[in-house]
Amino acid sequence: MKFEEIVNGKLWVVRAEDSDCHELEIMLDHWNDVVWLRDFFVCNQDDLNTFYHVGIDDAIWDTIEDSNKIETALIQLAENDDLDTLFRPLDNNETAESLLQKDKAKLKKRPIHSSWLRIYAIRLSTGAYIITGGTIKLTLKMAEREHTRLELEKIERVRNFLLSEHIVDDESFIEYIAEL
């Protein structure tokens, strides 16, 4: 497992050993690719209709618009050491911070319907995160669909890797990176 720094030691991203792109690049490429989005929304049209009542063409353009907004917010907040305003615990019922907490980021205010874009990350410490992936979430529970279930597996795999390397916060993560 490889990690790449995105911004100021506060925002990192996972890159699979066999990949030329890191998870953020892959996710943003998909979210801005009209052909990929059309295929996705055609395959998930029932969820789109059930939960959002939006047509495929509108869903494509809303996704591209939201993708640009969330990417901008992510970078700006990282540069201003304010990522904690974007990320929230993955489990909506979680109220206390936990070791290597699994978090999600989404846009808060969107006209017409809420944003279905999610970025998933491990919280190393206050304001420091490792992005593990992201997806278009159209259902209430992530376990309901294969593509969201895969994101749950990825975030858990990264968390387990960090724990196996005795990484428990941003300091131990930076030490690990320095030793590579």
pLDDT exceeds 90 at position 39: yes
The pTM assigned to this predicted structure is 0.96
Angle (nearest 5°) at CA 11 between 123 and 165 = 55
Phi, psi of 12 (to 5 degrees): -125, 165
Q: How confident is the model at residue 97 (pLDDT cuts 50, 70, 90)?
A: confident
Nearest to 4 by CA among 131, 159, 151: 131
User: Which of these, 65, 81, 70, 62, lies nearest to 170 by C-alpha position?
Assistant: 81
pLDDT reported for residue 92: 85
* Residue ranges of domains in the chain: 2-179
Q: Cα-flanking dihedrals φ and ψ of residue 2, to 5°?
A: -115, 155
For the residues 49-56, what does the mean pLDDT come to? 94
The pLDDT, as a whole number, for residue 164 is 98
List Cα–Cα distances, 86 to 55, 59, 129, 149, in angstroms.
28, 23, 11, 22
Please determine, for residue 95, whether its predicted confidence score (pLDDT) is greater than 80. Answer: no
Q: Which of 61-70, 88-97, 131-140 has the lowest mean pLDDT?
A: 88-97
Measure the CA–CA gap between 134 and 148, rounded to whole angstroms: 9
pLDDT reported for residue 16? 87
Residue 24 identity: L
Give the pLDDT confidence score for residue 74 in this predicted structure: 97
pLDDT in the model for residue 67: 98
The alpha-carbon radius of gyration of the chain (Å, integer) is: 16
Average pLDDT estimate for 13-38? 96
